[in-house]
Structure 1
Amino acid sequence: MPRFYCPVDLQPGAVLELPAGAARHAQVLRLQPGAVITLFNGQAQAPGVYGEYEATVTQMGRSNVQVRVGAFAAATREPARQVHLTLGVPANERMDWLVEKAAELGVATIQPLMTERSVLRLSGERADRKVAHWQSIAQAACEQCGGNRVPQIWPVQPFTAWLVQTGRAQHTGLLLSLRDGTQGLRGVSCGDEVTFVSGPEGGLSAQEEDAALAAGFAPVTLGPRVLRAETAALVALATMLV
């Protein structure tokens, strides 16, 4: 059954028009009146309880699609642990791929950072467009994988500004590091909520690592191999979430 992200208040019996993106998707699928679809809005019905609504297409227009919302069904497919991924943005299209796969794995939020070694430099309107693009990728990934909580992609920030704003971690804070003697991620007790910091190509600088450690983040490693920035972030997520 086709799934559509519909970020509005959904109530059984309500008749509404799908948002533009969802309407285009429905038209591409050539749905007809009477077709049954699934809607979700990413909102918890109770703490930790997410779900979706059955809906029926009532009208297909040139640019609009009208549906009648049906019954709500609780369907919590989200990981028990919340992981907030904070990372130096990798270059080219690698961030697109990372966002898609992180959403499929069940990441809670993603904070893109500009670091000393970042190859891709983003600011102003260009950064805003990128964030909107990544948010749409996360939404599409949740439509595909069955997730009912869409991860929030936060605005791009410089590493130093983010660290000052965050302050000492209020929950478990972990930092991916290649320093000698660093404990493996699998051996760390993470708790129910984790902020995980990972660098871009080349990793974080020594000064950035020192600042994160001083702010309360604990260094962890994924092993002796040197992984690409996007691979390392996803391996860490899979280790903590799956």
Structure 2
Amino acid sequence: MPPRFFVDCPLHASGELSLPPAAARHVQVLRLQPGSAITLFDGSGADWQAEVLAMGRSEVRVQLHARQIVQRELAQQVTLALAMPANDRMDGLVEKATELGVAAIQPLMSERSVLRLAGERAEKKQAHWQGVAVAACEQSGRSVVPTIAPVQTLAAWLAALPPLGAGQRRWLLSPTAAQPLQQLAAVEATQTLVLSGPEGGLSPAEEQAARGQGFLAAQLGPRILRADTAPLAVLACLALS
């Protein structure tokens, strides 16, 4: 299978194209040569078959060929809203969630969050995680890149949520006073919003605030999963349903 590269510009029609810097670097790192086959995608849901025409010191020119619509997305849109786990676990969570088909990720800070970001540092982390999602799409064959939203506090995010619409559901991952996930997943929906807490869990007040916004408490089983494991378990369940 030809290597896949994301390009951050729209691909419209067959013809020659000078690759954007990021994609050009990837082609050069792989030491591809003129005549090499590659696949390009711009996040719109299609793959483009292409061929390397010329390699320069900083420029890579390619010839676009056939456009192919691909369907590798989940049957429903799943958004993960999660209190960011500490250390580098957020990187792995974004990567694996992208592979499993997440549509969007909302990084949050809750009362018990260890990782706290603001200002330029938060913006840099958001851009970094968006890059992690792009790389996971290149590897997994997805042609739609999940959106990594700006970091927010849980309180501000909950307050800004619109009312629930038709075909939408909201789940709060909680080990107490919760329905089994399999029971909740039996109800069909087109959009699912999953809220997951940090290492120490959400506070009782935060859980109550989430319930006030239409979240139903969901339980994943008798074991307590890590903050970076629980949302992935939900995604895996929905991907296989």
TM-score normalized by structure 1?
0.94
Match of 2:81 in 1: 86
Q: How does 1:1-242 map to 2 (within 5 A)?
A: 1-43=2-44, 50-170=45-165, 171-180=168-177, 182-188=178-184, 189-242=187-240
AA in 2 matched with 1:211: A
Per the TM alignment, residue 59 of structure 1 is displaced from its structure 2 partner at its CA by 1.3
Counterpart Cα distance in 2 of 1:179 and 1:167: 26
RMSD of equivalent CA atoms: 1.0
What do residues 171-209 of structure 1 show as CA deviations (whole Å, max 9, x unaligned)?
A: 2111101213x1111111251110110001111111110
Identity of aligned residues (%): 53
2:228 is paired with a residue whose SS is: helix
AA in 2 matched with 1:36: A
Counterpart Cα distance in 2 of 1:97 and 1:120: 15
Check conservation: 1:169, 1:217, Cα contact below 8 A: no
Per the TM alignment, residue 169 of structure 1 is displaced from its structure 2 partner at its CA by 3.2
Counterpart Cα distance in 2 of 1:87 and 1:224: 21
Equivalences, count: 235
Counterpart Cα distance in 2 of 1:133 and 1:96: 9
- Which consecutive unaligned segments of at least 5 residues does structure 2 have? none
- Which consecutive unaligned segments of at least 5 residues does structure 1 have? 44-49
AA in 2 matched with 1:141: A
Check conservation: 1:106, 1:241, Cα contact below 8 A: yes
Counterpart Cα distance in 1 of 2:110 and 2:191: 24
